[in-house]
Structure 1
Amino acid sequence: MPTVEVSDLKDGDFLLDVREDDEWQAGHAAGALHIPLSEFVARYGELTEVAPQDGRVHVICRSGGRSAQVTMYLAQQGVDAVNVDGGMQVWAAAGRPVVDGKGEPGHVL
């Protein structure tokens, strides 16, 4: 499973958040694309419309389990995808910004 550490992510890296709506609304990385795991296959086209054609998709969830499933699926589709190790829990613990659904400071559920 290709993985990347939160500390290795740079500003501008494409981030796909696959957590559910309540988790997203409570707190997420600003600029991330949100497609919940429960809707991912049906909404896959949304990702292909906005993902960088020659770049990597960094997949994140709360701790890394759901994002690992999506990372494997994307790799099977030929997408350069990596799982963000530790997910949003590590993201927040590392002091990375977390915003809620209104763009205000948020928290990770």
Structure 2
Amino acid sequence: MVAVFGGPQIPSIPVTEISDDTYLLDVREDAEWAAGHAPGAHHLPMMELPGRLAEVPKDRDVAVICRSGGRSAHVVAHLVQNGWDQVRNVDGGMYEWAAAGRPVIGEDGQPGQVV
């Protein structure tokens, strides 16, 4: 759990505990996504979230990821406040994802990088 600016505790999950069944929501900007993202992740930039909430499932585990964990923590807080109860912030974000040896691909399907 992580506190966001003295606010409520944000549920979190280590990269190593994310299963293939988890809905991985990447909230980074388009250029970050294009440079490198997790295979199978769903891209929804943080600033577009309010208008696209219906795209985020409520009936399964959702792990929210950004570059380092800050933006995704804010998204998790917003989702929790709006009725999601199976949502967690990915500890360390894409930096930790890559450091743990998890695959990162670019928009073209080739090996990518976290920017």
Q: TM-score of the superposition, structure 2-length normalised?
A: 0.87
Question: How far does residue 65 in structure 1 lie from its aligned partner after superposition?
Answer: 0.4
RMSD: 1.0
> What percent identity do the matched residue pairs reach?
53
Partner of 1:19: 28
Ranges in structure 1 where 5+ consecutive residues have no aligned partner: none
1:77 to partner: Cα distance: 1.5
Contact 1:15–1:32 (8 Å) recurs in 2? yes
Corresponding residue pairs, total: 105
Q: Using the TM superposition, give the Cα deviation of residue 52 of structure 1 relative to its aligned residue in structure 2, in angstroms.
A: 5.7
CA distance in 1, matches of 2:34, 2:102: 17
For 1:8 and 1:63, locate their aligned partners in 2 and report how far apart those are by CA, in whole Å.
17
Report the equivalent of 1:59.
64
Match of 1:77 among 77, 82, 90: 82
Q: Which residue of structure 2 aligns with residue 98 of structure 1?
A: 104
1:46 Cα shift? 2.2
2: distance between equivalents of 1:57 and 1:102?
Answer: 25
- Which segments of 5 or more consecutive residues in structure 2 lack a partner in the other structure? 1-9
Distance 1:60 1:3 in 2: 10
